[in-house]
């Protein structure tokens, strides 16, 4: 089997998966805080190490995964099939988890929003950005945030705040986001309210 498929995964699956899981759960429990997600992964391009960390930690053979068009290369899909065995779907509305590379079109309502009875059946999106700081300052409020917290990610689409407001209005339905870059992750659960700093 091609070494590109075999290599680049967890060297210590139990410990690294636990480390990744704690980072992502802390990120979602404490929205806006930056959590370490550097797990030493070297997936085939264009899949970033951070996106790989999310997928290898949270997905298994029962988890439907959607990849944006740029990520869905033969090298990436073969690597994911070997390391997690997840079924890959081309229908975003059927995915439990979705991975979007830098610059991919982000349309939140294209994914599963769950139902009022089963809101947990919504899609969790892992979105690779250029950076988690250095962009426009956004103010976060809501559960898990004592007063407010500021983030400044680089690479969100211009209409992100509108999309996020529409997503929040669907509660308890709606998607959750994991923003990743530079070996780190920020969680944005659907309950988080986001506004511009000068708004």
DSSP alpha helices (H): ranges in the chain?
3-6, 13-29, 49-58, 74-83, 160-168
List, for residues 119-166, the tens digit of each pLDDT value: 999 999 999 999 999 999 999 999 999 999 999 999 999 999 999 999
Q: How far apart are the first and last CA of the chain?
A: 55
| Domain with 159 in it | 3-103+111-196
CATH number at residue 152: 3.40.50.11310
Rounded to whole angstroms, the Cα distance separating 154 from 50 reads 16
How many domains is the chain partitioned into structurally? 1
pTM: 0.94
The SS3 assignment for 128 reads strand
């Amino acid at each position: 089997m091609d070494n590109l498929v075999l290599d680049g995964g967890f060297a210590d699956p139990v410990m690294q998966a636990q480390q990744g899981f704690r980072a992502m759960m802390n990120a979602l429990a404490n929205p806006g805080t930056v959590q370490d997600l550097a797990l030493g992964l070297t997936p085939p391009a264009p899949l970033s190490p951070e996106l790989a960390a999310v997928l290898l930690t949270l997905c298994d053979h029962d988890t439907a995964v959607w990849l944006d068009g740029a990520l869905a290369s033969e090298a990436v899909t073969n690597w994911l099939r070997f390391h997690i065995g997840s079924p890959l779907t081309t229908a975003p509305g059927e995915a439990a988890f979705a991975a979007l590379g830098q610059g991919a079109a982000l349309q939140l309502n294209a994914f599963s929003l769950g139902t009022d009875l089963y809101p947990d059946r919504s899609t969790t999106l892992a979105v690779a950005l250029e950076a988690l700081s250095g962009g426009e300052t956004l103010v976060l409020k809501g559960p898990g945030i004592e007063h407010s917290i500021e983030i400044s990610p680089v690479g969100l689409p211009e209409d992100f705040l509108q999309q996020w407001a529409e997503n929040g209005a669907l509660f308890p339905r709606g998607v959750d986001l994991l923003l990743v870059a530079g070996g780190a992750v920020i969680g944005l659960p659907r309950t988080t309210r986001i506004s511009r700093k000068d708004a």
